[in-house]
Amino acid sequence: MTTLFDPDHTPTREVPSAAPIILDGAGHGRSDDSGYESPLLEGLNRQQREAVLYRGPALLIIAGAGSGKTSVLTRRIASLLETREAWASQILAITFTNKAAAEMRERVKVILGQGADGMWISTFHSSCVRILRREAENAGLSPTFSIYDSADSKVTLKRIIKALDADTLGFTPGNASAKISKLKNELADADSYARNANMSDPQEVMFVEIFRQYTSRLRAANALDFDDLIGETVYLFRAFPKIAALYRRRFRHILVDEYQDTNHAQYSLVRELTRPVEPALAEEMEAQGVHVRNLRDATGGIPGASLTVVGDSDQSIYAFRGADTRNISEFERDFPGTKVILLEQNYRSTQNILSAANAVIGHNFDRKDKRLWSAGGDGEKIVGYTAYSGHDEAQFVSDEIEVLHQAGMAYRDMAVFYRTNAQTRALEEILVRSAVPYRVVGGTKFYERAEIKDALAYLIAVANPTDELALRRILNTPKRGIGPATETALASFAEANQISFRQAMRDSSSLGLGPKVTGAILKLATLLDEAAGKLDPENPAGTANVSELLTFLLDGSGLLTLLRNSRDPQDEARAENIEELVAQTKDFNKENPDSGLVDFLTQVSLVAAADDLDDASGTVSLMTLHTAKGLEYEAVFLTGVEEGLLPHQMSANEPGGPAEERRLFYVGITRARQRLYLSLAMTRAQFGDINVAMPSRYLQEIPVALIDWKQSPGMANSRGGTQPRALNARRDGFGGGFAKRGEPQALPPAPKPKTEWANRVPSQVRDNGDLTLAAGDRIRHVDFGEGRVNQVTGEGTKRIAHVQFDTAGAKKLLIKIAPIEKI
């Protein structure tokens, strides 16, 4: 085992891990007694410097939005290496996304060059995969185990539910998957859940059976799902103290980013890695030749690793994924002797934006109080807008985007946020009509496309022959005349004879399925066996790389050829996607010459959802508030700030629900650098009905002086036009305002539309394919009235009319669909 780890004798310059570096009275950190100050401290404020230099058993950095936490974390790592307090191999830095891990790795590399090699900077899941592949035998796994994503898990559960007729009790792959995931994040398995379940309830009995069969099928397929990766690592450390001791000895400095988003399983993993090694175990390790002498303390044991966590409970918005804010709020209790440092200076937003954020989040309890501030000045006031309808709101957003763009702001520097995906319909309709380039962030990702999953399933079936899910996916892809009945017959044959699905394919001639079907199954089985042979180190032709193997499988299966020869334009795009996958495998081979198929599949499995974000696209980004976390834009439009949407109606009766929704609003506000727009509508279409929508309670928490309120033209003010409608929320419990106990009430029926509303923008479009416009033409628009065309830009279906309307001002219209006519 010792070959897995670098010799961990203490570096030449010894600094006791628990001894803090003292800051002088002015807060200027010194890296030694000579007066020399490390370049790592340049440009840091006093709190940031303290966070970089402090040494002790536990450090909690409460990092407000935009406070430079990534810079502090990377410089802290670099400082440990620069002062020779740790080898690179003794540092484990954990983030939540591959993108964040790559950014941190790159920053450290810029500072230290090759001195950073050997560090583990990765996500929770990536770190656990590395550990489990190394310790697979003790974990009861093969090192080539597959990793099931959420789609794979749901396919497996769908088959289990169908076999058990569990759908009659209301079970679906979605709800079963969510419940199993929640339990696994709490480190519960089927047996532990069954011990506390109400087994007189048929639903509970059925769920326990689903959970057990799901666990059994994953094990039979030598597979783990994403939740298993962390849970199995925790179980491994608890079951095998000697293995845990090796990793505790190796990682002497553990740093965790976004700690407020950790769930119970992730918290438990951190706890296991930071426990001390008992003297007896340390003695045994020493006797076995593992270098621990310089790590042992006066008791003979190895002290727990130094733990640094960075987070902000005010930005904890993932309770639905199992995130537990108690992990950060109770950190000082869990880790005695913790030093707490607050980073409150914000380098992103103007003071007006930060003052609004502070005012809102200050209404939450059970948080460490902090006040974000900026040295950059107050900036522009926040702009508030009260619209009549969702389309009216969308028109305001579109118009303001154009105003900003004309003033020189790039489209890519603007974003529109919303609470639910259903809100995009009106926004998209208006943005298309107004010829504003946009993209909805969170569309179908590359690895979620069906054709990519098909190609990857071929690779998975070669890497892990016992993965039944992958085999069943490719059994009739492309179509080979193998139907569901044949697939079921193969599965039954495998179960009856206690053999794998793959072996059943090889023995399919015993099933009496007919020569054509049998031939198709045997041909596929032979193709997979030949591909596996190409990975054999004893192969006279040499071991194939990932690109060669994928090409061989695509050619042999005909998957790519079929798509290329199809007349369906979508199949042409699918073929291009697979060709892109082939190109990616070639890049993988170049960048990782010593890595193989399992490494490639592991890399693919660990790509996080947000990793595909591209802020250089030149388009306005539309996204949910949850997606927005971690991003920032020059201008942010936060739409639908209404009761029932923000806070969302589903959160109203949940414990901690309104507080989490307030954190979500806070996250949205703090994404804005220079300009922030808050908008709401007075009527909102939901589930096919038009309802009165009341202003969100959160708007009343922002000081009035910070917002410049605007509203669609008209006389519909309940206070005679003396105050913005957004502040007219009833406080007697009627109409979604505040009830006596602060809970929102049901919305009243929608009123009949009032004629006083002068800016009711509908979603009307018109096919103007034959309409020709030129500068000087007069047109009439159903919403904006009459106006004169100033210029026409673009070609074909993308022609855009720039129009000066007599009353509505300047607008941009996509001619092909705009509701206009020439007059």
**Has 671 been annotated as catalytic?**
yes
Q: Give 260's Cβ-side CA count (13 Å radius).
A: 21
* Residue whose structure tokens are 């009243």: 748
Tokens of 744: 């929102």
Of 8, 232, 258, 429, catalytic: 258
CA atoms of 647 and 650, how far apart (whole Å): 8
User: What six digits make up the tokens of 58?
Assistant: 């536990």
Beta strands in 533-644 (DSSP E): 620-624, 633-638
Measured distance CA(662)–CA(702) in Å, rounded: 12
Q: What gap in Å lies between CA 442 and CA 427, rounded to an integer?
A: 16
Give the residue ranges of DSSP H helices in 39-149.
46-53, 69-82, 98-112, 124-134
213 is catalytic: no
Q: Output phi, psi for 157, to 5 deg.
A: -65, -35
Choosing from 85, 257, 402, 661, which is the catalytic residue? 257
Q: Give yes or no: 315 in active site.
A: yes
Residue with tokens 């802020």: 615
Per-residue b/e over 434-459, b at no fewer than 16 CB within 10 Å?
bbbebbbbbeeeebebebbbbbbbbb
Q: 382-387 and 707-711 as β-strands: parallel, antiparallel, unpaired?
A: parallel
Q: Is 258 a catalytic residue?
A: yes
**Catalytic entry in 252, 433, 671, 684:** 671
| b/e burial code for range 528-548 (CB count within 10 A of at least 16 → b) | beebbebbeeeeeeeebbbbb
Chain mean position to CA 320: 13
Q: Which of 69, 433, 480, 684 is catalytic?
A: 69
Q: Burial-class residue 218 by CB neighbours within 10 Å (0-12, 13-18, 19+).
A: buried
605 in Cβ contact with 645 (< 8 Å): no
257 is an active site residue:
yes
Token pair in block for residue 585: 């495998």
Q: Which of 30, 37, 46, 70 is catalytic?
A: 70
| 185 burial level (CB within 10 Å; 0-12, 13-18, 19+) | buried
Token pair 């065309």 is at which residue?
Answer: 789
Reply yes or no on whether 283 is catalytic: no
SS3 readout for 18-30: CCCCCCCCCCCCC
Residue among 692, 704, 36, 705 nearest 389 (CA): 692
Active site positions, annotated: 69-70, 257-258, 315, 671
